[in-house]
Chain A
Amino acid sequence: MEINVLGISGSPHRHGNTETLLDRFLEGNQASGATIEKVILKTLQYSPCRGCNACHKDGVCIVNDDAIILYEKILASDCLAIASPIYTMGITAELKGFIDRQQYLWARKFILKTLYFSDEHIKRHKGIFISTAGLGWENVFDGAFPVITALFNTTGFEYYDNVIANDMDRYGGIKNHPTALKEAYDKGLKVVGILEKLKAS
């Protein structure tokens, strides 16, 4: 059974620390036999959520752009790796703008009740948050976790794991980090095996 992994990079900065970490995770996935796709948010055309709540009536977003296409891809994936650097103690505005667009799915789940993920479905769909931060503070990712949790909850993914590395400014980049790149690769390798077993059972 083929496992599909979707990696989304929310960094405005191409091939920086966060995208490099995502790349290593996806390489691990590939080495495990998964099909991968990487999407760079900044190359897409989408606008942030307008907060109009029109989707509360029919579960459809009135803005039809690349964000909707990407949400369809997310719903068709077995594993979602969502990557963002930490800017000012949170995820980037680009990724936040995209995540806020999930409101139409939230409306389907909680208002219209036309979308439902069983516990079994959630167990078979793994979400991983990949992030780097310049600051060395231990709490530097705390503002990101609840938002990522909201994304995984709404799209039917179990919040399976994180690959996070702080203190990038001191290390001088992810390449000098002692463990993060290997951790990303290993976790990428492992999650595909777990998903394959779950799919076969």
Chain B
Amino acid sequence: MPIKVLAFAGSPRRNGNSETLLDWVLASMSGDPEVVVEKVPLIEANINPCRGCNACEKLNRCVQRDGMDIYHDKIIEADCIILSSPIYCMGIASQPKALIDRAQVFRSRKYVLKLPIVSPERKGKRLGIFLATAGQNWSYVFDAAIPSVKCFFHVIDIKDSDISYLMINGVDEKGAIEFHPSARTDADMLGKSVIAELKKRLAL
């Protein structure tokens, strides 16, 4: 069985800084023949915001029929889930926020219906990565995004301690990340270390 990596590119701007950071991580991962990578640009994924109707608490599925029908299943199947986003106005962009809020169906399944998200033998064998870039140089520019990201991973059965973060501030204009002193190396190392950890956990 290959290691499945599902990566959401959350920026509405294609091939900008946060997506480049993601591409570097994915390139480092896909150098391994046992790894299968799928990248999903959220702007093309047709994922609507959550309506807050709470129907999933009873139905165990969302009442909306859209791109999430596909990604719901893929999120469960993946061994590694990566979310990348730029920081806009001190928070995660609205497109990844919509994806995160649509994970409400997993939260309902886990906490209201008390049903499993993944099979028992796969528990603790999934890893998450959050990648972010911000134009501002402030050290606290990512702080407001992180609680939402933690919730997202938590409800899809990825523990806090199994989330890796690579967040680069001070990159605004398209391509600025290319000139960052360590981002590319850090992305490369992160990709390799997460795959190595997954192999250990999956006993491959």
On whether the beta carbons of A93 and B97 are closer than 8 Å, the reply is yes
Interface-side segment among A27-35, A70-78, A81-89, A190-198: A81-89
> What interface size band does chain B fall in?
35 or more
Closest A residue by C-beta to B155 = A88
Complex-state Cα separation, A24 to B144, whole angstroms: 28
Q: How many residues of A contact B (CB 8 A)?
A: 36
Q: From residue A79, how far is it (CB to closest CB) to chain B in Å?
A: 21
Instruction: Judge if A20 is at the interface, Cβ distance under 8 Å.
Output: no
Instruction: Judge if A143 is at the interface, Cβ distance under 8 Å.
Output: yes
B115-159: contact bitstring with A at CB < 8 Å (1 yes, 0 no)? 000000000000000000000000010011111101110000000
On whether the beta carbons of B94 and A48 are closer than 8 Å, the reply is yes
On whether the beta carbons of B97 and A49 are closer than 8 Å, the reply is no
Instruction: Judge if A142 is at the interface, Cβ distance under 8 Å.
Output: yes
Instruction: Judge if A162 is at the interface, Cβ distance under 8 Å.
Output: no
Q: From residue B100, how far is it (CB to closest CB) to chain A in Å?
A: 5
Contact among B86, B91, B100, B101 with A51 in the assembled complex (CB-CB below 8 Å): B86
Taking A87-B101, A93-B50 as contacts, is the C-beta distance between A51 and B90 under 8 angstroms?
no
On whether the beta carbons of A92 and B89 are closer than 8 Å, the reply is no
Residue of B95, B100, B104 with most chain A CB atoms under a 10 A cut-off: B95
Contact among A11, A12, A96, A102 with B94 in the assembled complex (CB-CB below 8 Å): A96
Closest A residue by C-beta to B173 = A53
On whether the beta carbons of A88 and B104 are closer than 8 Å, the reply is yes
Complex-state Cα separation, A97 to B143, whole angstroms: 19
- Which residues 41-83 in B have Cβ within 8 Å of A in the complex? 49-53
On whether the beta carbons of A90 and B91 are closer than 8 Å, the reply is yes
Q: A51-B13, A97-B49, A146-B90 provided; 18 other pairs, C-beta below 8 A?
A: A12-B51, A13-B52, A48-B93, A51-B11, A51-B16, A89-B148, A89-B150, A89-B151, A90-B145, A93-B95, A96-B94, A96-B97, A99-B88, A100-B93, A100-B94, A139-B147, A146-B143, A147-B90
A-B residue pairs, 3 tightest by C-beta = A97-B94, A89-B147, A51-B13
